[in-house]
């Protein structure tokens, strides 16, 4: 009975995090972007600096008519948002925020494997949307999404393998437990490659070619309205939370910090992840969109060789010190 309660509590916490953290990131994006561009951003909803803007957006989305184009593949079209969103919920379960069993949704032995595999499923949602919409722009957007996944999944895998080599385990809590401060310079190249590849996989600017509004409207999501569209947006922000959490856990030492690694370790994890989320927003405001061929070139001629070099470096250092 206690076990069941324990599991239920963990699931509840993960679910609440899944529903609130993306909204916090979204609201931060509204405000940070606005101030970086010399605007105020949302100020009205909720009274205090527009804190309830995204809640208001949610209410608006829920009231909108749900349109499925006559030419669309109805069932696939309707299911696509769920397929895009749910993988990130599952990934959140495996990300540890503090030491010990109490601070992770569920310890999954093959953590890195599980996380990377499940995250790959999310892209399937965009592909389904792109294909099922029966719209030329959607189809192009879907194909671009697929191409981007092909290019950037690989550097992600390779750099994650590099961390697994350094720690000698593929379990996420195991990796953070093995972390030492000098891993940061040692794995620096891997960290940057992982983060950039993750951004590309989330189709965040400057890698937002698949949803480039000035040429293909909104890519695979062109035909979506109301709640289903909102779920796609939620998936993007849940993706940011997951990416920042993973980068923190794999490369920045998760709960390790100068003070309070025992009781307050989770504060460090959240702080580091929040800082990374800020960088994600910052990059969106700073860089122009890459062209499709530049996207492919960046990955195949720069990120993949860099990640291979990182694996070589990790291997040498690890064997020398052991």
Partner 1 sequence: MPEPTVVTATGAVVAAGYFQSYSVVGLLAVVGVLFVAVAFGAGRLLRPVVPTPEKLLTYECGVDPVGEGWAHTQVRYYVYAFLYVIFAVDSIFLFPWATVFAAPGYGAATLVEMFIFLGFLAVGLLYAYKKGVLTWT
Per CB under 8 A, contacts with partner 1 among 153-182 are 153-154, 157-158, 161, 164-165, 168-170
Q: What CA–CA distance (Å, rounded) separates 306 from 185?
A: 15
Cβ-contact 155, 194 below 8 angstroms:
yes
- Residue 71 interacting with partner 1 (CB under 8 A): yes
Minimum distance from residue 11 beta carbon to partner 1 (Å): 6
Minimum distance from residue 154 beta carbon to partner 1 (Å): 5
Is residue 206 reached through a cis peptide bond, with omega within 30 degrees of 0 on the bond before it? yes
Cβ-contact 118, 83 below 8 angstroms:
no
Stretch that binds partner 1, among 35-43, 44-52, 74-82, 281-289 (CB under 8 A): 74-82
Minimum distance from residue 91 beta carbon to partner 1 (Å): 10
Considering only residues 216-235, where is the footprint of partner 1 by CB under 8 A?
Answer: 217, 222-223, 226-227, 231
Cβ-contact 219, 138 below 8 angstroms:
yes
Binding-residue total with partner 1 (CB under 8 A): 76
- Residue 271 interacting with partner 1 (CB under 8 A): no
| Sign of the C-alpha dihedral computed for residues 283, 287, 291 and 293 taken in this order | negative
Q: Pick one of 108, 193, 199, 242: the residue that binds partner 1 (CB under 8 A).
A: 108
Instruction: Please state the φ and ψ torsions of residue 116, each to the nearest 5 degrees.
Output: -65, -40
Minimum distance from residue 260 beta carbon to partner 1 (Å): 28
Instruction: Please state the φ and ψ torsions of residue 321, each to the nearest 5 degrees.
Output: -80, -15
- Number of CB atoms found within 10 A of residue 102's CB: 11
- Residue 9 interacting with partner 1 (CB under 8 A): no
- Residue 270 interacting with partner 1 (CB under 8 A): no
- Number of CB atoms found within 10 A of residue 48's CB: 8
- Residue 95 interacting with partner 1 (CB under 8 A): no
Stretch that binds partner 1, among 186-194, 245-253, 280-288, 306-314 (CB under 8 A): 306-314
């Amino acid at each position: 009975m206690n076990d069941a309660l324990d599991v239920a509590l963990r699931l509840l916490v993960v679910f609440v995090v899944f529903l609130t953290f993306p909204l916090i990131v979204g609201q931060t994006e509204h405000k940070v972007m606005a101030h970086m561009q010399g605007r105020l951003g949302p100020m009205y909803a909720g009274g205090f600096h527009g804190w309830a803007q995204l809640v208001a957006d949610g209410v608006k989305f829920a009231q909108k008519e749900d349109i499925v184009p006559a030419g669309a593949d109805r069932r696939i079209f309707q299911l696509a948002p769920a397929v895009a969103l749910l993988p990130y919920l599952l990934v959140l379960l495996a990300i540890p925020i503090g030491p010990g069993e109490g601070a992770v949704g569920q310890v999954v032995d093959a953590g890195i494997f599980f996380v990377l595999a499940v995250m790959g499923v999310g892209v399937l949602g965009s592909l389904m949307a792109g294909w099922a919409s029966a719209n030329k722009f959607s189809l192009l957007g879907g194909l671009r999404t697929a191409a981007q996944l092909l290019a950037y999944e690989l550097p992600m895998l390779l750099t994650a393998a590099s961390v697994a080599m350094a720690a000698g385990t593929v379990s996420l809590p195991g990796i953070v437990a093995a972390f030492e401060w000098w891993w940061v310079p040692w794995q620096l190249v891997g960290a940057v490659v992982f983060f950039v590849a993750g951004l590309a996989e989330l189709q965040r600017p400057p890698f937002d070619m698949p949803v480039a509004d000035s040429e293909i409207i909104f890519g695979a999501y062109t035909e979506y309205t109301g709640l289903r569209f909102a779920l796609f947006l939620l998936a993007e922000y849940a993706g940011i939370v997951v990416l920042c959490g993973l980068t923190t856990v794999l490369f920045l030492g998760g709960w390790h910090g100068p003070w309070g690694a025992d009781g307050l370790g989770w504060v460090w994890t959240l702080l580091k992840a929040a800082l990374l989320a800020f960088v994600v927003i910052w990059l969106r405001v700073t860089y122009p969109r890459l062209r499709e061929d530049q996207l492919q070139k960046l990955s195949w001629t720069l990120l993949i060789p860099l990640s291979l070099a990182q694996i070589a470096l990790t291997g040498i250092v690890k064997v020398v010190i052991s």
